[in-house]
Structure 1
Amino acid sequence: MDWFEEWFDSPLYEQLYADRDEEEARRLVNLLTQTLPLEKCSKILDLGCGRGRHAINLYREGYDVTGIDLSEQAIATAREKAEALDAEHLRFEVRDMRNPLPMKFDAIVNLFTTFGYFETEKENASVFDSIVQMLKPGGVFVLDYLNAAKVRRSIQPSDEGAFHGIDYKIRRYIKDDAVHKEIKFKGDGDHVEGTKTYSERVKLYELPWFKETMHDRGLVIDQIYGDYEGNEFNPDTSSRLLIISHLEEDGKSER
């Protein structure tokens, strides 16, 4: 089992990240609405949607949204949220992002660093092959990823805390051109009795890699932002790498 299959399905994952900033999600969605005009990009795929945080905010803006994620637990939570909203144009499906859906979308978004989880460069690059198959010609693809250059320089090696009587310690380090995170929980309750350890790993790709890999698949970069306010990307200071692109009409790029 890959690390993300075990960790993302754990109830501890949901509890550890329960306080993720909804205001941050709304800022990103506000930026997306400027990039994805509703009259042209009404049908959106949230690729690696997690528990539906961004998909639901996009739905509230009037988009028809499909979300896919490999985590069964994440999709179950997202579906509960959709049912509570009685949302007709919001749906979620358990699916590997390397396995394209048999339909086309006006836009595809991959948000909050849900990229770079796979072991090899070939597997990670294949996500773009999936995107191209699901994107209408001229359709928009948005990638929201960490700023790898900044992570390399300023990684926080450790932190710790507690929630619901469970203590946790996080250790971070860079190895084999990836940022690794080890999360150790200690408690005496329903979700952890004694200690339990999970891991995360995200490959560190910088902008030139994305430019080449996307170009080879006919994805033309239109805009690069460094944060959710739409400021210019700076590899030294930017908090994010946010790439706005579109698929060429003929599906191929010209070199």
Structure 2
Amino acid sequence: MNVFGDALVYLNDPFSWTRPGSGILDLLAQHLRISGAAVALALLVALPLGIWLGHTGRGGAFTVALSNVGRAVPTLAILTIFAVTPIGFGPTATTLALALFAIPPVLTNTYVGFRQVDQDVVEAARAMGMTGRQVTFRAELPLAVPLLMTGVRTAAVQVVATATLAALVAGGGLGRIINLGFGQQDYGQVVAGAIVVAALAILTELVFVALSWALTPGQRTLPWRRMRPKVA
């Protein structure tokens, strides 16, 4: 039997899902906790900073430079650095490393989203007597939502996929399935772990696409629904 057949056998075994501590369901819960905490931390840092920079028009070069540096530094290198600091190994180190990995796309897309808002809309809002805060959150933010959510979606998918590295630093998550498979030379288990992680990443993508669609202001049409011509 090939490795894909072994992977299907592993995934069809109920014990693989319910094994205490190392079953797929327990590891999935750990994976989601780590990923969710990392994305939330990244949003807390990147969204206010991106909104402020985009609204004021400052820091464009800083934002681009930070994005490039953030994408160039591998998460595993950050985990290695954390290992020789008081942070050490474990879920905290993984969460912080993944948050640093998620900040650049959120920050960049938020900044670009605000800068691409039509300045006529901004001036009209100011002419109506809106304060700077009202212009930011009532005029600019709704129009920046599509690009902003693209950054959030990109960050979330990247974090979910990269969180498998948590298993290398005693952080838990679905990466343990792959790690244990390599340790036991059970490549069917390795492929099974990869399938679960890939499926979770695709599901995350779909969830955030739906969320972006729901949050985008204006008339919305389902992507798969064709517009029917009106009959006179």
TM-score range, shorter chain: under 0.3
When the two structures are superposed, what TM-score results if normalisation uses the length of structure 1?
0.25
The one of the two structures with greater contact order (alpha-carbon pairs below 8 A, sep at least 6) is: 2
Q: Which one has a larger percent strand, Structure 1 or Structure 2?
A: 1
Q: Which one has a larger percent helix, Structure 1 or Structure 2?
A: 2
When the two structures are superposed, what TM-score results if normalisation uses the length of structure 2?
0.26
